[in-house]
Structure 1
Amino acid sequence: MPRSISAFAAEEERRVLSMEPVTAPVHHAYGDHPDQVYDLWPTDGPRAPLVILLHGGFWRYDRTHLTPFAAHLAENGFTTALPEFRRPGGAGGYPVTFDDVALAMSSIADGRPFLLAGHSSGGHLALWAAARGLLPDCSPWHSTDLPAAVLALAPITDLAGAIREDLSSGAALELLGGVDKAPSRLPSVDPLTLLRGAGTTGVPTVVLHGSVDEEIPHRQFTDYAAAHPDAELIALPGVGHYTPIEPHSPANRTVIATLNRLSAHVS
């Protein structure tokens, strides 16, 4: 069935995703593959909080659309790193997308405390990265070197739900390698599954979403909050999926304020 959204949601998507990309002043590689790179917006002062920002696009699209938001974070005092990673439809998908996110975290932070943020499917990757301490010790992704705090903006939290709802025409199945492979792969990369039984990641977590988000079913947000009672759930009235990453919007001011508050966890 073709995707159908309201005029409000269509205008929000057009407005935010048509913003002019911003070129970062610094570019680095964190690995040997052409997609293992990141943009960096440094800020003055050695105590500026580091934010590693994971882009959305249902795991398929690149980071370009999030460069205005990344630059805006830097303007507000955050040293901001925006990594790319291998994506489904190209060289990525399970397991290498997750390999890249794990490698980017360790390489970019290099032992420095950091805040982790992500939007939409990037929010899924951020919540997964913050839950890596819940993976078995034998997992190649297990780590106790976790972010100081995580802010997930309109995130996908439940891959099984994303498959069931057929979000973005099978994006989650594509990430996991298809219907035959998804069941065995999902438990190690799904934030909601990892939380069940544990009850917390131990990482201060905020899930922030718009009350009229038409891209992600709201159960994705509320089910995660129910499974992770330590997490804070913020719903912004009258806000859709994309406005939280729109610089200077009222929703984005709440995002900046939340990151400033989470900075208290970065010592």
Structure 2
Amino acid sequence: MTPSDSSVSPVLRSATRTITTEPARPIISARDLRKSYGKGQNRFEALKGVSFDIREGESVAIIGKSGSGKSTLMHVLALLDAPDTGDLELEGVDTRTLRGAKLNRTRNKTFGFVFQQFFLTGSNSVLENVVLPMKIAGIGRAERKRRGIAALEQLELADKARNKAVNLSGGQKQRAVIARALVNNPRIIFADEPTGNLDTNTGAVVEDILFTLNREHGITLIVVTHDEDLAARCDRRIHIRDGRIVDDSAEELAA
């Protein structure tokens, strides 16, 4: 599913970035990130000094086995959790300065989230689920509806706008989640095992949508996965094991 320029919705059109020949600047910079859980003998080091940059417009796969620290890393990068030590910058801003309402606004405006579990409220309509980030951001009802419908049209779900989310198929639910991720025109989309609950064909459609958003509209895509085929579609793969980066394909390409 690759939309043509003429079919791009207002939501995606406004998210399209101007392509230049200058090197992309880091949108995320991580330096020596460390994160532990528990205390004493039960203490578990999830991240053990992780450092890298992610440049705007990259598609990056964070890969590793269960318990490797990849999900913890995603939560830290997405400002859903804070590192114990280390420096994390978002577009040059020290994220430790983002607190309370400012942190919530930054997260809501900058990030879109696509999770394996969908996190849709089944008793609400598809449109009500999609517009939730805009409601949190305080955007008016009319504008919420306009942008929500535009996103659903782009993802071929406009005819399901009034349907209860519980009645959608797995693929339709994931497309609704992507529409919800788009409505605030995010700079970065975090996708955590986005095809994990889908069959092969439906998963391929969802992957195509995500990579279209990345490559045609300049949205930085960060995918957390153990799926090697999905990871191979990304520009770059960061392999994490036991809380440490053991391989970064970008370093190999630059060498």
Instruction: Give the alignment's TM-score, normalised by structure 2.
Output: 0.32
Higher Cα radius of gyration: 2
Structure 1 or 2: more strand by fraction: 2
TM-score, normalised via structure 1 length: 0.31
